[in-house]
Amino acid sequence: MAIQPASDGLVTENAQQYFQGSQGFRAAAAGTNQTFITDFDTELILGDWNPVNLNYGLNNFKVYTSPSGVPGSWSEWVTSMSVGGDGRTIQLDAAPSANAYVVVQLMILTGGKYGNTEAEKAYGETVEDNYGSYQYTKLSDVVANFIVGYVGQGKLIPNAKRTDIIFHTKRAMQEFSYDTLKSIKSAELTVPASLTLVLPQDYVNYVKMSWIDPLGVKHPIYPTNNLTTSPFYTQAQDSAGIPTQDNFGNDVEGTS
C-alpha cells in the first residue's frame, strides 16, 4: 500500500502512545506525592479517582504501578490523585514505592496490557477516537498562532490585517502542494481476520492499494467506481445458478 504521510511536525506522539495509548514513568526514590506530565494528543479527563464513585466512569484513562515493570505485576492506582488544568499533569497524592514503574493508560477497546484483573483493564474508546488526530492542523489555528506570536506592538510585525494573513497562509499551502504534500511512503500490512486494522501514524491518504497472493504476485485493488461495482445485494444460487428462496418465498442473500 502506498500512502501519503503526514508532516513530521504534526506527529507529536511516539508509537506506544499512538497505538497502545500508554506512557510510562519512573517514580522518585522518596516523597509524599509525585507529579507526572504526559504528552498525549488527548487531554486527560478525571471524573473521580475512586472506582466506587459514579463519576469514575467519566475518566478516559487509568494509572497503573508496578515494583518491577514485568507483565502480571501491574495494579491499578486507586488512591487519591488529580489532573492539572492543562489536561496533561497527573499528581498522585500518595507516594508509590521507591523507584516504582508508573504507566498512564488511555481507555482502549482491548483494555490495554496493564492490570491484573478484568475490572482493572482500561476498556473504552479513547485511543481509537485519537487515531488520525495528527493529520491536520486547522487553518484558523495557524492564523491565530501567527498573530499571537508575530503581530503586535514590539513584535516582528507591528500591525497586520487578519485577512492579509489568511491570504498568505493559503498561498503557503499552495507552495507546500508542489513538494511536501506529495510525499509518498509505502507499507506492507497484514489484514487480520476482523478485516480491519490501524493505519500507520503518519497516514493521510492512500495513493494505491494492492494485495499479494501466495505466489507473491501483486494485484491492484481498485476503488468502487466505474472500474468496479458494489452490488446492492448478492443472491444465493443453487448448483445450476438459479437464485434460491426461503420458506416465505423471498430471495436468500449470501456474501460476495
Q: Which letter does DSSP use for residue 119 in this model?
A: G
CB contact set of 218 (below 8 Å; sequence gap of 6+): 210, 211, 212
In 47-190, where does DSSP find H-type helix?
A: 126-130, 139-150, 162-177
CB distance 35 to 91 below 8 Å: yes
Which pLDDT band, with edges at 50, 70 and 90, does 230 fall under? low
The DSSP secondary structure of 3-70, one letter per residue, reads EEEPPGGG--S-HIIIII-EEEEE--SS-S-EEEE---SSPP--S-S-TTSGGGGG-SEEEEEESS--
The pLDDT mean for the chain works out to: 83
Tell me the domain boundaries of the chain: 8-130
Q: Which is nearest to 43 in space by CA: 62, 56, 61?
A: 61
Whether residue 2 has pLDDT greater than 50: no
Q: Which is nearest to 120 in space by CA: 38, 61, 36, 55?
A: 61
Whether residue 30 has pLDDT greater than 70: no
Give the range among 56-60, 96-100, 165-169, 180-184 with minimum mean pLDDT: 180-184
For residue 183, CA distances in Å to 6, 178, 228 come to 9, 10, 27
Count CB-CB contacts under 10 A for residue 137.
Answer: 13
Which pLDDT band, with edges at 50, 70 and 90, does 36 fall under? very high
Whether residue 4 has pLDDT greater than 50: no
| 220 phi/psi in degrees, rounded to 5 | -65, 145
Which pLDDT band, with edges at 50, 70 and 90, does 58 fall under? very high
Count CB-CB contacts under 10 A for residue 179.
Answer: 8
All three cell numbers of 185: 511512503
CB distance 77 to 63 below 8 Å: yes
In terms of average pLDDT, the best of 14-18, 22-26, 96-100, 197-201 is 22-26
In 109-138, where does DSSP find H-type helix?
A: 126-130
Quick one: how far is CA 226 from the chain centroid? 33
| 145 phi/psi in degrees, rounded to 5 | -65, -35
Which pLDDT band, with edges at 50, 70 and 90, does 232 fall under? low
pLDDT at 129: 83
Whether residue 66 has pLDDT greater than 70: yes
**CA end-to-end span of the chain, whole Å?**
23
pTM of the model: 0.58
| Mean per-residue pLDDT, 22-34 | 81
Rounded Cα distance between 39 and 27, Å, is 17
Question: Helix (H, G, I), strand (E, B), or coil: what is residue 219?
Answer: strand
